[in-house]
Every structure is written in structure tokens, then in C-alpha cells.
Chains A and B, each alone.
Chain A
Amino acid sequence: MQDTKTTNILMAGVGGQGVILASEIVAEAMLRAGYDVKKSEVHGMAQRGGSVTSHLRFGTKVYSPIIPDGEVDILFSFELLETLRYVHMLGAHPLIIVNNQKILPPSVIMGKDHYPDNIPDLLSQYCARVHLVSALDIARSAGNPKALNVAFVGALSRHIDIPESIWHDAIAAALPPKIVDLNIKAFTLARQNQ
């Protein structure tokens, strides 16, 4: 393999959306594709409903398990507001892939804070390439809204140049056998979605 610059994917979302499992699948795919891979996240305090991030890096040789500020190549965000939290980490020619879903944080639920309007427009001020994906709809049409995270990985997979079969293998390695087919269906629908 040729020496390649490290690619940095910052995954963001809300506890319960399956961010960590999605990052497991992407990391496993990159390992199978022959890259050095590192991935880092923080578990601990009851994370249900809290902000979740996973740093995923791959290339010929990866040192740090966390992405330095200003070096995110792909911001892969499962929730609209969470995307905004990390735009300061974007690198020089970034891509934002954002799931078109709003999950209201507690202070908004309580009526104390305002959920920002027009987030996709705001994002386009920071990044020339913003892809909006309706992963929940895709998961539903594949048969189960819980496949949202794997469907969303399908949208990411279009921007990573490895064979599709590796993705399927990585999904099969990460999930219980009985839900693999449904998840690959969700993955494929999102991958093909233009």
C-alpha cells in the first residue's frame, strides 16, 4: 500500500443513536482494508441522551488516538445540533455528512434554550460540502428505524474508497446474525441514495 495521509473522521451524535457501534463498523472495515486504525471515545457517566463523539483515524501509520482540532476531514454527525458543536474542529477541505434529525436537549425541552434554526444553512457557512441524509427514513424503509446507524454508515461509505464487500463483512462482524441482512439492506439503500 502507498503511504497515505491519515484520514480523520469525527463522529458525533446523542447517546442511544448507535454512534459507537457505527464507529466500530467503520474501524473494522478500515482494518480489513489494510490500514492502520485508531479510534477513541469516552464512555462512563450515564450517556443516554448526552453528547457522544468518536474519533476515528486511518492511514499508513496513525499515532494519536484523538483528532487534533482543525484536522477533521469528515464530520459525520447523527444529529443536527451536535454537528454545530464540532465545526471548530474542521480541517482545510472538509466534508460534513449530517443526519437530518433533531433531538431536543434538556434545556430546550424545559423551554429555557432555543434549538438553533436552519442548521444546514449555518453549516454551509463553515463547509462547502454538506450532505444531508435522512438516515431514519432510510432505516424505516429497510424495515427497522433502529438500523439508522448502519444506514448512515452507508452514506459515509460512498466517500471512502474501499470495496463494498469489505463493508458488508464489517457489518456482519459487528452485529448479531439475525439482524445482519436488514442492516445491510439499510446500508445499501443509503449508499446508493444520491
Chain B
Amino acid sequence: MKVLLSGNEAIARGAYEAGVRVAAAYPGTPSTEILETIVQYKDINAEWSVNEKVALEVALGAAIAGVRAMACMKHVGVNVAADPLMTASYTGITAGLVIVTADDPDMHSSQNEQDNRHYARFAKVPMLEPADSQEAKDFVKLAFEISERFDTPVFIRTTTRISHAKSIVEFAEPEHRELPHTIKPQFEKYVMLPRNARLRHPQVEERLKKLAAFADEFDRNELILQETDIGIIASGTCYQYAREAFPTKSFLKIAMAYPLPIKKIKYFAGLVDRLYVFEELDPFYEEQIKAMGIAVTGKDVFPVCGEFSPITAQNGIVGSRTHKPDVPSLPALPPRPPNMCPGCPHRGVFYILKQMKVFVSGDIGCYTLGGLPPLNAMHTCICMGASVSGALGIDKALGPNGLGKAVAVIGDSTFLHSGITGLLDIAYNKGTCTVIILDNRTTAMTGRQEHPGTGFTLQGQPTKQLNLPSLCAALGIDHVRVVNPYNLAEVAAALREEIERPEPSVIISQAPCVLHRREYNPPGTPFTVNASACIGCMACLQLGCPALVWHPAEKSGTASINSALCTGCTLCAQICKKEAIQAEA
């Protein structure tokens, strides 16, 4: 059967065909769809974990227990999971363990563009890099074979243009694998006390040598010998770009990003006149190839930052194309950035924060858009959970002078991922911070995934639901209150009271995401502007709601509401001093 699959869907299919029994992940673009696809395979025990560290530990535990297991995450998720990763490299596995890292060159939906190939070298584990969806599926199976043959976790690295690109995949039958009946202790292998870890480390070094030898035999590290004036070493989507730009030249297509096939590279270098390494982000291959004593051109002609395309290969190797189309210049085009949805429960909170002129220690989620105009009410965004602990740092830096000047804002899923420990630190270390948890009842930005606060699992089964106010109280926060974000006066009053209080507090802004299928009930009646009452003060436009439209006139102008977009959330009506905005009759 031939179907079109994204790289993520293909990885899920590969896991099924490889007989994976446990798969764990925290949602993160561009990796999210792997688990969303895996859920259809009922033999796989799949879960949304609370964060990537937990996901990797769950998968490692399953692999120690003797079933094939997989953990999936975006590139920055590996930072969170780095602690178990580094030692899982020492312990190895009983049955196969594969970790998928989905990198995001150009930061389409990320806070940095770190190159996670470094993690393979750092943790001394092998990494495979597929170049299309067929390979994404096939490499999952190969990764499990390598994992079990060499007693090691194995990385599969994708980038956005593999994860989210669709290409043709042929299915195979799933492998049947015997399941373990029990688990036996292996003290020296799995208890990383110093005495045992000292025994494991030399085995890791030995394993790396064997893997390097294997890389040279591995036929997916493929030589494509054609014209030899130019030879290009590339992997993943970069291979596709370069092959398209230079279809008649010679290639060494790298499938195993780490360790590199040294003999194959030396052989290839000896065959071609000019050798290039074409890799997005860091000179990861280039530095290793140069350390082999081979002359190669890489980052001298190709950029380090951003995403590549066939044009990048063209420009770096033969220079930019001479003919530019002779076309008239365009007028300046108004940008169309992503925006919070009409009726979004976050909008009112950011409107009030802007009015209060407080410094907002921010976090990762849809609500990061609250930093964009016209709301402009987020002043840091670093990583999952940094809003909460960062606010304590601000508190400590400013001392009593800072009281009432800064707040932390974090989403519900992000709080559960990495905010809990920060809040505990605030309570423990006598902070006075106010933390706003924007509880929209889902992991919204990645497409509305379940988490412990929603009361449902990845499979949509009801489960134990976390009680957020009780959790905050248990961490030591005495002042916890829940507000309705659609009531601006209530939000403003709660914020004023809590930020002036010289004690830590939590405000839970609770209302479901407008895209929440289970919980969101639209108020129903769109609002409308009475043009004769509108004085053109533009106050309502400061909400940045896509449903509000400005109609300039000679001196001033009037606002109107696009009834097709308006959810009837009432925020603009609450702001309008002339009561010009009312529910449609």
C-alpha cells in the first residue's frame, strides 16, 4: 500500500511496524503528530507525559523491562530530557529504545534553533537522520535493531521539513515480538552507583568504536557516484536540496549522523575534485571531517543560521543565478502575523496587564502572542517554566522596591510541565511574586492536547484530574484565587490586590480555549457597534481582536465588528466608554 504521510506520521507507522509497546511524549512543534498518530495503534501503550524528562524516563523504564519503547520531543525538549539521556547512554537497554528529536531550523515555532546532532556526540549514542517519510518509517525499524545490537539508546533526528513534509510511503507488516512476563534485576547494568558507572563508561567508549565501524558498513550511508568534479556530503532534507540543485554530481548521503563513516568519507573525498559538506545549522560534520585531515568546504559558503533550500546549495557552490526576473517593485505589504483567536480567554488578561504597566515574566504558549502589538504585555520568553522562577529572580533583584512591578504569566500545560518547581521555590524562598496561570484547559498552541489538568488521557479516556488550586496551596501558596478572564473588572481587581501583597500568590485565569471541543460553549450572540454612538476613540482596538475593524474617515473614524468572527466574548463592550458596543439584536 502506498500512501502520502508526513515524517511524523511515518515515524508513528514505523513504531507500529517495529513492534513498539510504549511511546511517550510531551507535545512540541514539529514533533506533536507522532503521538497523535500512534494513538490509532491499540497495541502501543502511548501517553502524553508531563514533560520530556518524564517521557524519556517512562520509555527507558519500558526498555529496561524488555519492550521496545520510544520517546518523542521537539529539539528543546531534549534539553529537559538531557538528565536521563546522559545516563541511559551508560545503562543501555534490555529491549530497544529510540528517542526522536524534531529540530526546527529557522524557528518556525521555537525559541531557538539549536542543532541536536550535538546531543548524539555529547551522550555518545548513535543518531539516524531520515531524508523523507519512507526513510522516517524505515529508520525507526533500523534504529531499534541498532539499539538492541549495540545496547544503546538511538536518536532519530528530523527537522521541520521532514516532520511536516508529506511524501510517499509503502507499508510493511508489523513485527511480532514476544512480551516479557517479568522483570529481573541487573544491578551492575542499571544501578548507576559510581562503582557500576565506572564499569559502564569504558563499555560506552568501546560501543562507540563498534558503532563507528558499523557506520562504514551501514548501506544507508549511501555513495551516489556520478560526475566527480563536485562531491557533496549531506543528510536529511539538505541531501534533497543539494540533489535537486546538482542532480548529476556525486553524493555521500549520510543516514547515520553520528558516528560518521570515516572510511566512506575518506574514500569519497579521494574520488571527487571539490568536496562540499552541505548541512543546516552547525558545522557538525564539517568539523569532524576536517579533523580527519580532509579538505572540505562548508560554512565558508553556506550559512549557519536558518533553513536551507536548493537555492542555498546553488548559491554556495556555483554562485547566485545571474538572471533576476525584471519585475516592478511591490508596495509595502501589511504583515499578517499569527494572532490570538477572536474570543480567546487570554486577551483580556494581557489587556489589563498592559494597562497596569507591570513587567511580565512570560512563558511558552499561544499566550506568548500577548507580547506582540497592540497588547505588548510580555517582556521575557525563555523556556518552559522560566516565567515563574524568573519572576522570583526579579523579586530578589528588586527587593521591596519591586513589589507590584512584575508578575509571571504561564499556561496550564506549561505550568504542569515546568512551572511547579519554580512555584515551590517561590514559596520556599520567601518570594512575594504573583503568578498568573492562564488555564485554558488544554495544551493549546500545539493543537489542543490533553494534560493532567484536563482529566483526559491521550486516548480520550477519563482519568484522575489535577486540582490546580489545591496543588498551588500544597506548594505553600496561601493566596490562590480563580478569576473569570472575560470579566475585566474582576481580573483588574484581583491583580491589583495580589501584586501589592508582600506574599506569594497565584491567580488562575480559568476559561476554556475557544477551540476546545469538549469544554467551550460559545456565548452565541455576536456584538455590533452602533456607529452613531462610536466616537472613534479606538479604545476597543487596543484589544487586538481580529473581529474588530477600523474604518478611517476624514477626521477620525469608526469601529465595526465582523459578526462572522465575533464570539460575543464582551471584552470590547466592557472597554467602550460610550456603550456603543452591544449584542446584536
Contact = CB atoms under 8 A, between A and B. Distances in A.
A164 B331 CA distance: 39
A50 B241 contact: no
A64 B168 contact: no
The 10 tightest CB contacts between A and B, nearest first, are: A44-B109, A65-B165, A50-B338, A113-B334, A111-B550, A44-B29, A63-B244, A40-B165, A105-B336, A63-B240
B538 interface: yes
A44 B30 contact: yes
Chain B binding surface, main DSSP class: loop
A43 B4 contact: no
Contacts of A38: 132, 165-167
A108 interface: yes
Interface range on chain A (Cβ under 8 Å from partner): 35 or more
Contact of A125 (B29, B167, B327, B339): B327
Contacts, number: 157
Contacts of A65: 132, 161, 165-167, 237, 240
A63 B241 contact: yes
Contacts of B164: 40-43
B325 interface: yes
B444 A46 contact: yes
B241 A45 contact: no
B327 A87 contact: yes
Given A46-B444, A87-B330, A111-B552, A64 B309 contact: yes
A35 B369 CA distance: 40
A114 B550 CA distance: 11
A62 to B, nearest CB: 8
Contacts of B541: 109-111
Contacts of B244: 63-64, 68
A69 B310 CA distance: 9
Interface of A: 14-15, 27-28, 31, 36-51, 62-66, 68-70, 81-82, 84-85, 87-88, 90, 104-111, 113-116, 122, 125-126
A174 to B, nearest CB: 11
Chain A contact residues: helix, strand, loop or mixed = loop
Contacts of B337: 50, 106
B339 A50 contact: yes
A73 to B, nearest CB: 14
The winner among B108, B132, B166, B247 for most chain A CB atoms within 10 A is B166
Contacts of B341: 46, 48-49
Contact of A48 (B240, B331, B339): B339
A18 B311 CA distance: 29
B548 interface: yes
B552 A27 contact: no
Interface in B445-471: 445-447
